[in-house]
């Protein structure tokens, strides 16, 4: 035996002989496998290099948008009306979701975030997106419950949400922001781009958990945050007028209304309230015409007898008549084939301009307009700001409708009815601006709602702007005294229900204020006016020769008051009385007895 055979016998193990063809086959298999690896490496490293490089860059190297913080809106005392608050939003990385558990997870998340399970499942199982939103701005307790699920494919990221801490207070002024972060009404819309700020960017490489890789190069362009805005709104004034408006609307079952308070000397709007109200925190629960329009600047109406203030002021300024001029109020008058009458068709006899205001005579007002003439009348209406927007910093302001002398829509009959506020359309703010002009010695100031704007530490204050002097100081002085007597004429509407007396009394006891009532007819489609409903309003100012406030109270379609007078006057009294006391203006010592002038 050979040596290896003896060795095999000695060890007791079988002898194995490897043939050469087996060795060659094994080597060939190894060469084939190595060639396969080389070809695959060649495909990946050479043929698909650019494709795979781009795919890796998309997965790792990303540019993230850095969102700015939207600016804060406050009232004049610094109380926050609108602010961004960080809330957690739920996102999903589908590639990291356990697809077998996805249906059960979708049902769980549906219960927590209130979205259909089918929509959530589609996000969890998406194959064409790396990062998908599921639910935005979660309540803290909901975010905490999602955190306890400990699912690797779920991400909770903070993002700002617009919050309105005061709820419905001043909602029409402040406005609202939609889910895209854009202002859709009010100050939010007017200053949207400045409040919104400018986005920044972060270019970096990210890991699977979407965290930047620290050792990789990155480039950051920080966002520029939005400006902060301080409004002219006084919190007490705003609360007061919203409270009184709500009570009046509910008490008289009215459709709505508006109250505006302005400082005649500066044009600053101290309060602006409208009904119906809305909560900007959930504006989507309301109709677009409620959250998207501010009735104080967007809703046109025929001002009715409050417009006689302008008619008298314009005629005096044009020297068409004097304070002593008389016209004969016969109750009904015929012009151009039509009969035009007072509200009750009653005659008041010879009237001066003050008498026209005191008795609210339509017949007297149109005769004063005939003395003025259409050319001068409409030219001075333009000077008063009618037919053009005031320029207040609120989105959606209307300019009104004036059929001026020389325009295609002008007609002589309309000119006469304009004298007592029919056939002309205005906004509530335009009427307050006109009243403020009379109260401010004929100097018309531009209404404004923003007191200060701050870009970081750099702030700029709004300077009051004079926009015209439609009447001379003497004319304004004369009209103010006429309106003081007019206010006393309507004082019993406030006090008779309390005292049982209809004797002359001061509208606001202890203070000289001027005011004029108005009953506005409501146009209907097809022509004519609504026979069942009107708009009641009071437009006034106070005190007489040092006016701190110009006020409009407007109540739409009160169901229990066809003329609107007994609806609006008590509201005007309550508002003006509290305003004068809030301003700590002492009562006039000369007003000892009611009715003393």
Q: For residue range 480-524, what is the model confidence (pLDDT) as tens digits?
A: 999 998 887 766 666 556 544 444 466 888 889 999 999 888 888
pLDDT per residue over 306-338, tens digit each? Answer: 999 999 999 999 999 999 999 999 999 999 999
Residue 487's pLDDT is what?
Answer: 81
DSSP summary character for residue 115: -
pLDDT of residue 515: 93
Q: How many CB atoms lie within 10 A of CB 125?
A: 14
57 pLDDT higher than 60: no
Report the C-alpha gap between 151 and 459 in whole angstroms.
Answer: 47
More confident residue, 64 or 105: 105
Percent of the chain with pLDDT over 70: 84
Task: For 355-387, write each residue's pLDDT tens digit.
Answer: 999 999 999 999 999 999 999 999 999 999 999
pLDDT tens sequence across 523-549: 888 888 888 899 999 999 999 989 999
Do residues 484 and 561 touch, judged by C-beta distance below 8 A?
no
pLDDT band at residue 118 using 50, 70 and 90 as cut-offs: confident
**Is the confidence at residue 1, as pLDDT, over 60?**
no
Closest CA to 236 of 205, 273, 274: 273
User: pLDDT value at position 492?
Assistant: 66
Q: Which residue has the higher pLDDT, 60 or 82?
A: 82
Provide the pLDDT for residue 502. 40
For 82-114, write each residue's pLDDT tens digit.
Answer: 998 887 777 777 777 767 777 777 777 777 877
Looking at residue 443, what is its pLDDT? 97
User: What is the rounded CA–CA span in Å between residue 494 and residue 192?
Assistant: 44
Answer yes or no: are the C-beta atoms of 174 and 280 closer than 8 Å.
yes
pLDDT surpasses 70 at 436: yes
The DSSP bridge pattern shows strands 332-335 and 154-163 to be unpaired
444 torsion bin: left (phi>0), alpha (psi -120 to 50), beta (else): beta
Asked whether the predicted pLDDT for residue 151 surpasses 50, the reply is: yes
Nearest CA to 203 out of 221, 191, 178, 224 is that of 221
Q: What is the pLDDT of residue 11?
A: 52
* Alpha-carbon span 435 to 552, nearest angstrom: 9
Mean pLDDT lowest for which of 26-30, 78-82, 251-255, 348-352? Answer: 26-30
pLDDT on residue 214: 53
For residue range 154-209, list pLDDT tens digits in order: 777 777 889 999 999 999 999 999 988 899 999 999 999 999 888 776 555 555 55
What is the fold, at CATH topology level, of the domain defined by 235-582? Beta-lactamase (3.40.710)
Q: How confident is the model at residue 477 (pLDDT cuts 50, 70, 90)?
A: very high
Instruction: Decide if pLDDT at 267 tops 70.
Output: yes
Query: What mean pLDDT is reported for the chain?
Result: 85
- Max Cα separation, the chain? 158
Helices (H), 405-555: 412-418, 428-439, 473-499
- pLDDT-derived band of residue 595, with 50, 70 and 90 as boundaries? very low
Domain positions in the chain: 3-47, 84-165, 235-582
In the chain, % of residues over pLDDT 90: 56
The mean pLDDT of 130-159, rounded to a whole number, is 76
Residue 14 has pLDDT above 60, yes or no: no
pLDDT for the residue 22 = 75
**Would you identify the CATH topology of the domain 84-165?**
Penicillin-binding protein 2a (Domain 2) (3.90.1310)
Banded pLDDT at 54 (limits 50, 70, 90): low
| pLDDT reading at 47 higher than 70 | no
Find out whether 366 and 335 touch, Cβ atoms under 8 Å: yes
pLDDT band at 149 (very low <50, low <70, confident <90, very high): confident
Range name among 48-57, 179-188, 208-217, 231-240 with the lowest pLDDT average: 208-217
Give the confidence band of 587 by pLDDT, cuts at 50, 70, 90: confident
Location of structure tokens 């939003």: 89
Q: Picking from 31-45, 427-441, 446-460, which range would have the lowest pLDDT averaged per residue?
A: 31-45
Q: What digits encode the pLDDT tens for the residues 252-265?
A: 999 999 999 999 99
Average pLDDT over residues 574-584: 94
Residue 41's pLDDT is 72
């Amino acid at each position: 035996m050979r040596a290896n055979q003896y060795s095999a016998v000695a060890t007791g193990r079988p002898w194995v002989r490897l043939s050469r063809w087996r060795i060659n086959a094994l080597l060939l298999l190894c060469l084939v496998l190595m060639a396969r690896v080389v070809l695959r490496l060649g495909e990946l490293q050479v043929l698909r290099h650019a494709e795979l490089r781009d795919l890796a860059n998309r997965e790792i190297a990303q540019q993230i948008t850095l969102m700015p913080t939207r600016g804060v809106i406050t009232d004049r005392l610094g109380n926050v009306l609108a602010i961004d608050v960080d809330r957690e939003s739920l996102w999903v990385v589908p590639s990291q979701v356990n697809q077998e558990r996805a249906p059960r997870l979708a049902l769980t998340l549906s219960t927590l975030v209130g979205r259909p399970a089918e929509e959530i499942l589609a996000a969890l199982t998406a194959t064409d997106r790396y990062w998908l939103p599921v639910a935005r701005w979660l309540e803290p307790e909901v975010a905490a419950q999602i955190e306890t699920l400990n699912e690797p494919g779920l991400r909770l990221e903070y993002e700002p949400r617009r919050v309105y801490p005061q709820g419905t207070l001043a909602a029409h002024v402040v406005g609202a922001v939609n889910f895209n972060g854009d202002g859709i009404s009010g100050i939010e819309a007017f200053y949207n781009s400045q409040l919104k700020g400018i986005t920044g960017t972060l270019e970096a490489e990210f890991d699977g958990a979407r965290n930047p890789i620290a050792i990789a190069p990155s480039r950051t362009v920080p966002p520029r945050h939005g400006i902060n805005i301080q409004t002219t709104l006084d919190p007490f004034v705003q609360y007061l007028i919203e409270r009184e408006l709500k009570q009046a609307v509910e008490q008289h079952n009215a459709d709505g209304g508006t109250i505006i308070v302005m400082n005649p000397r500066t044009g600053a709007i101290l309060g602006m309230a409208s009904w119906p109200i809305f909560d900007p925190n959930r504006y989507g629960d309301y109709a677009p015409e409620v959250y998207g329009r501010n009735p104080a600047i967007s809703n046109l109406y025929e001002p009715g007898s409050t417009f006689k203030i302008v008619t008298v002021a314009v005629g005096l300024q044009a020297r068409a008549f004097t304070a002593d001029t008389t016209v004969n109020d016969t109750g009904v008058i015929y012009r151009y084939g039509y009969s035009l009458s007072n509200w009750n068709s009653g005659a008041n006899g010879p009237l001066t301009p003050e008498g026209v205001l005191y008795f609210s005579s339509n017949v007297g007002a149109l005769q004063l307009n005939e003395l003025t003439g259409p050319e001068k009348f409409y030219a001075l209406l333009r000077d008063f700001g009618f037919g053009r927007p005031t320029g207040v910093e609120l989105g959606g302001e209307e300019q009104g409708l004036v059929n001026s002398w020389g325009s295609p829509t002008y007609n002589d009959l309309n000119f006469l009815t304009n004298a007592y506020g029919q056939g002309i359309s205005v906004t509530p703010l335009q009427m307050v601006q006109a009243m403020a002009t009379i109260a401010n010695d004929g100097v018309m100031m531009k209404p404004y709602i923003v007191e200060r704007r701050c870009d970081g530490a750099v702030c700029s204050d709004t300077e009051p702007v004079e926009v015209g002097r439609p009447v001379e100081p003497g004319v304004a002085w004369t009209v103010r005294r006429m309106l003081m007597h007019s206010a006393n004429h309507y004082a019993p509407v406030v006090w008779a229900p309390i005292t049982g007396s209809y004797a002359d009394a001061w509208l606001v006891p202890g203070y000289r204020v001027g005011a004029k009532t108005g009953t506005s007819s409501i146009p209907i489609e097809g022509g004519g006016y609504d026979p069942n409903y009107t708009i009641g309003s009071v437009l006034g100012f106070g005190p007489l020769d040092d006016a701190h406030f110009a006020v409009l109270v407007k109540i739409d379609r009160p169901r229990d008051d066809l003329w609107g007078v007994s609806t609006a006057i008590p509201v005007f009294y309550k508002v003006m009385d509290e305003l004068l006391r809030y301003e700590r203006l002492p009562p006039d010592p000369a007003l000892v007895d009611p009715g003393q002038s």
